[in-house]
């Protein structure tokens, strides 16, 4: 199964970007993984946000191949424990899913079309996170899921 993370913006040199790439490479040991920046459709404060969201939705949906599952990161989505995310990915892979696309919205969020087309909606936190931090948390959790899947030593299960 392949994994793809879509996000709106431009990569910038920063320690966060380095960490994103580190986790992406680690994920790629288990699942081929891509981190794909997309150009935001918003043209500044004078642009129409609804039109921009609709255009961004078209862009996102054009990056979701047939039979792949789309997962929208959305504040109204389900909050999952790391083990639950790992189980979700394992079920998808074991069920023959060829790939999953995770999408982080622009500063406008995600368009209705993306949310409606999504197989799942996930929330990383009830708090608002900057896009770069959301990507970093997502890639770390995808790596943690791959570690759980392969029985690695990175994820430590809680001892009760």
CB neighbour list of residue 31: distance below 8 Å, 6 or more residues apart: 1, 2, 3, 89, 93, 146
Q: What is the per-residue burial (b if ≥16 Cβ within 10 Å, else e) of 33-54?
A: bebeebebbbeeeeeeeeebbb
Domains annotated on the chain, with CATH: 2-150 (3.40.1280.10)
Q: Which two tokens stand for residue 62?
A: 């054009």
**Strand arrangement, sheet containing 33-38:** 33-38, 2-8, 99-104, 69-78, 120-122
CB neighbour list of residue 17: distance below 8 Å, 6 or more residues apart: 11, 132
**pLDDT tens-digit profile, the chain (160 residues):** 999 999 999 888 899 999 999 999 999 999 999 999 999 987 555 578 899 999 999 999 999 999 999 999 999 999 999 999 999 999 999 999 999 999 999 989 999 999 999 999 999 999 988 989 999 999 999 999 999 999 888 887 664 5
| Whole-number pLDDT of residue 83 | 96
pTM: 0.92
* Angstrom distance (rounded) from CA 132 to CA 100: 20
| Whole-number pLDDT of residue 154 | 86
Element (H, E) at 112: helix 112-117
């Amino acid at each position: 199964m392949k994994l793809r993370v879509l996000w709106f913006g431009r990569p910038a040199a920063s320690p966060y970007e380095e960490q994103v790439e580190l986790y992406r490479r680690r994920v790629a040991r288990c699942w081929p993984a891509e981190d794909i920046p997309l150009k935001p459709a918003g043209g500044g404060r004078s642009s129409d946000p609804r039109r921009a969201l609709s255009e961004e939705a078209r862009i996102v949906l054009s990056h979701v191949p047939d039979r792949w599952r789309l997962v929208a990161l959305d504040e109204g989505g389900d909050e999952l424990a790391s083990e639950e995310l790992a189980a979700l990915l394992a079920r998808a892979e074991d069920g023959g899913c060829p790939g999953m696309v995770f999408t982080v919205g622009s500063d406008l969020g995600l368009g209705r079309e993306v949310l409606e087309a999504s197989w799942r909606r996930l929330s990383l936190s009830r708090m608002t996170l900057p896009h770069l931090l959301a990507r970093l948390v997502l890639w770390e959790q995808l790596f943690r899921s791959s570690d759980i899947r392969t029985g690695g030593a990175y994820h430590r299960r809680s001892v009760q």
